[in-house]
Structure 1
Amino acid sequence: MCCSTGVCGADVDQQLITFAADLDWLKSQGVTVRRINLSQEPTEFAANPEVNALMQASGGDDLPAVLVNDKLVSRAKYPSREELANWSRVVVKHHETAPQLDTCCTYDTNSNCG
């Protein structure tokens, strides 16, 4: 992996893009987020007892791992924005559906339809 987010290079995994965006969103909500990448910071990564135990048990097959307040809350998948928000006690405001344009016209000499 060439960078701490994994969002680099020519063939980027969409899950990494989504997860990086979700972490940025979480930060914008005032949540302190610290991402430690095994390939970039192996010593610090393995220094965490929860992560170290996970690595010993699975050999890394359970990565990625997400910890909240030093407690393992997710492993072996990238969590959704909703999961991240739930663990952080942040409310996700779902955007309203964009209004649908009325594509049906009736013939009217004063309209642009015709």
Structure 2
Amino acid sequence: MNKKIEIFDPALCCPTGVCGPSVDPELTRISRLHLQLVNQGYDVLRYNLAQEPDQFANNKQVNELLGSEGPDALPAVVVDGQLAFNERYPSVDEFADWLGFDKEMVKVKEPKKKLNITLK
């Protein structure tokens, strides 16, 4: 049986947080990984504090975490209804352990050709 994984993101400017002039590489990694897992049928959800505050209020453990530690405690990761950890995003290895897949299936493929672009 597949596990349900919920990621409670801090307040981000958009659903993925991958926008603007300087993008956090960790947000890019988790956004790409989340999309791959969802597209393969896994039950992995992400909630953004700025856009989905009800999800944070309705999850007792996350609500208590925010009450005691504040928004700096995010992101928080809940696996099958239990708070697994907070202040970081899951690794590929953790997702593979929870969901039972070979981590090579979500490995990021490097492009065959790299573009050299110089902005002046």
TM-score higher than 0.5: yes
Cα separation, 2, equivalents of 1:69 and 1:24: 19
Structure with more of its chain in strand, by fraction: 2
1:39, CA displacement in angstroms? 0.9
What is the alpha-carbon root mean square deviation over aligned residues?
1.9
Corresponding residue for residue 40 of structure 1:
51
Corresponding residue for residue 58 of structure 1:
69
Unaligned runs of 5+ in 2: 1-11, 108-120
Paired-residue identity, %: 42
8 Å CA contact 1:26–1:85 kept in 2: the answer is no
Point out 4+ residue stretches in structure 1 off by more than 4 angstroms.
Answer: none
Unaligned runs of 5+ in 1: 96-114
- Equivalent position to 1:18, from 18, 29, 54: 29
Cα separation, 1, equivalents of 2:102 and 2:56: 29
The one-letter code of the counterpart of 2:27 is L
Cα separation, 2, equivalents of 1:15 and 1:93: 19
1:72 matches 2:97: no
1:28 matches 2:5: no
Deviation digits for residues 6-27 of structure 1 (CA, Å, limit 9, x no counterpart): 0111111000000101111222
The one-letter code of the counterpart of 2:91 is S
1:48, CA displacement in angstroms? 0.6
Q: Which has the larger radius of gyration?
A: 1
Q: Secondary structure at the match of 1:12?
A: coil
The one-letter code of the counterpart of 2:86 is R
Q: How many residues align?
A: 96
8 Å CA contact 1:6–1:16 kept in 2: the answer is yes
The one-letter code of the counterpart of 1:77 is R
Higher relative contact order (CA 8 A, sep 6+): 2
1:4, CA displacement in angstroms? 0.9
TM-score (norm 1): 0.74
Cα separation, 1, equivalents of 2:56 and 2:102: 29
